[in-house]
Chain A
Amino acid sequence: MSAHASTTPAIFAPRAGILARSVDWVIRHPRMFVFLMVLPITLWLGIVYIGALIALLIQSFFSIDEFTGLVVREFTLKTYAELLRPVNLDIIVRTATMAAVVTVAAAIVAFPIAYYAARYAKGRWKALFYIGVMLPLWSSYLVKVYAWKLVLAKEGILTWVFAKLHLGWLLDAALALPVVGGNSLSVSYIGTFLVFLYVWLPFMVIPVQASLERVPGELLEAASDLGATPRQSFWLVLLPLAMPGVVAGSIFTFSLTLGDYIIPQIIGSSRLFIGQAVYAHQGTAGNIPLAAAFTVVPIVIMGVYLWAARKMGAFDAL
């Protein structure tokens, strides 16, 4: 009898070893397991990320003593009021306008590329598309910007091409435009815009392509079947369904333009953008509160933008 009992294998055999027992413990406590998995990333986001942002926000409510140049650690809205001074407001408007124009242009340029890649490119062509879009991201940003400076310079290849095509007058006309024009493309807002557009374009193409890929071709056929012209199909079906991708891409292009301080420094007129203002105030000027207040501006703009996009139903197709 006892011999029989000892040879019957247990249904739930006990397991030995720390690893085996901890695995068993995890299986019995799934919630605890999830908690342990999420804990490190929560701490990282909470302390390093959100914490830094909160520190920044607090700094923006301090002010600087005009005489001593020291930071006065008392709550005040004085620094924010300073943002509204014409010289600072100019910087904000200039940056936000540039970011908006770059974003719209990126969406217009990216859409056909993304559409082609999502609908028609297969196999080898698709790989070529990804490489073509991603490759510029693998080379140094500074190298690209300086390369563009040469391309856009008065003696640069672009001027030469325009001259060869007998279109020099077109370039001159563009440069003669008030505000956006200048001596050459490399010192005008047009140049800044072109370089921003080039550098951030992949960040628009990829999300738009991903969202277009998820639009079944059958829906476009259905639209056509119901009498929609290609133009109507685009505005009433394709664009609304691709909108989450366009918004995702615009978040990248818009916020990256808002925060950049290298491109406007190297290419364009010498007028400041928000990023440059932050750089200048926190560095030599030592005006950390104003730098912090400037930094809050893009955050607020992005918040308002996302809220408005949501209100307008940009995420309805999600």
Chain B
Amino acid sequence: MTPSAWMEFALFLGLLTVLTKPVGLYLGQVLDPRGRTWLDPVLKPLERLTYRVLGVRPDQEQDWKQYTLALLLFSLVGCLFTYILLRCQAWLPLNPQALGALSEHLAFNTAVSFTTNTNWQSYGGEGTLSYWSQMVALVLHNFASAATGIAIAGALVRSVARSAAKTLGNFWVDLIRCTYFLLLPFSVVFAVFLVSQGMIQNFQPYTKAKLMEPIPIQVPVVNEQGEAVLDAAGKAVTRPGTVDEQVIVQGPMASQVAIKMLGTNGGGYANANAAHPFENPNPLSNFVQMLSIFALGSGLTYYLGRETGNQAHGWSVWGTMMILFVAGVLACAWAEARGNPIHQALGVAAEGNWEGKEVRFGIFSSALFATITTAASCGAVNSMHDSFTALGGLVPLFNIQLGEVVIGGVGAGLYGILVFVVLAVFIAGLMVGRTPEYLGKKIQAYEVKMAMLVVLVTTLSILGFTAWAAISPWGLAGLNNAGPHGLTEILYAFSSATGNNGSAFAGLSANTPAYNLTLAVAMLAGRFLMIVPIMALAGSLVQKKSSPPSAGTFPVSGGTFVLLLLGTVLLVGALNFLPVLALGPVVEHFLNLQGQLF
């Protein structure tokens, strides 16, 4: 790593640390229905009006079942809404490119993807979606799914903080307050900043530029539905063609990108996502975008400490995440800086592995971005993860498989790591000779059951779908690479979908009915089959009496706890993926060393 890389990394960690407390304090005000913010004069009347229109009684709290039901209904309606809009795209306004409607499976996949905060994109950004679809159908979820995540985290934290209570808060209030007081104003400010850096924000049709040097290419043959035509071997059929002009994307980009980062959505406006010069104009915009991915998730750990009256616990959880994060960044940056062993053997090696990276950002900023976006379940990318070295690509994949708990998605990261906290407390808590307690709440059969359900769902979805795809014609048809690298591509797709990350390893033609459907199911499982047990866990915890801390209480802060949590995340969360990783990136790495490529 170069000195400038070290400086960038140090600056990133420093700013993140500084941001954590103020963001956490602000979250505390947002998640408290009686909380005060400096936006109250403007937004409070709007908030009250919204309650009145929707018939929400903000003082009426919900138990876990009511809360979860409201959340599920809201997500279902939102998902249907988006599906319908995408299917009707051709007839809707703000469509200067006259883009057609999406196919059933693609619209379904996309609607699910944005509802679940995954933002997996089987479609190609500017080539598929109109301004209307981007600004209405998708952006709704960019806000709502993020607010939902934060709401659940808030409900779970309340369940620990309250003693012998029944209710967890009101979903509608949490949703509306997170949107109005947190996501909207932050996004507006952020978008203005992005525009100042050169990001576009307009409603003009795409412009065209004539190429100085036409490029001959192989064009895939498509049928009437816009799907690739496959030959007998399952490979895409191509015909020769020439490119002599370039279409330059236009549209309301800054407004989309701000919430894409803040809400850890990650769905790019343009197909190239944050590697596109409009979507990520310069190193400063790159740096601030990276910071904004982590900002809310990091602040939530502070909120946890504050609400439960144990700030050291909040920082310990944050610290655990940071250890995993720093280790990931260093590993990824090391592998990428080391470069391709085959190039080195041939004596043509550049400094590091430049394939698939933007020269504007360089190797370290690309590795850092890749680690952040996968640690935080964001999924925006500024480089091609598929082109990383075997070990460099292993880091983003491993991050996702940890369960998206290294900062994680907004809200999702916190409730994800709290599942591991519950397991860590249960396993090790017995070692202090008492029924395990988490901040005074006894961890018993029901809690263990719900926590393990989350682990089971993740494992089942990732391993089950990957295994199915790896031996099915529909799974293998989409592969552009053979051998271990191909396995990694499939594994990455289902890990990303289940972890609600949304980044793609690429190299996999996922816009097929089978992939669109299986990935959508994986996204739904990874989101809602996790949320329901977690809400049940919260419902059980909130009813428990909080026993006061004493010298015999299991400590949930400090070095020992951090080690313990780290061990639990690694042993219970990630150990399950070791065998398949051994057959994927690990074998690929060793074969690369022997000069074999995939």
Answer yes or no: do A and B interact: no
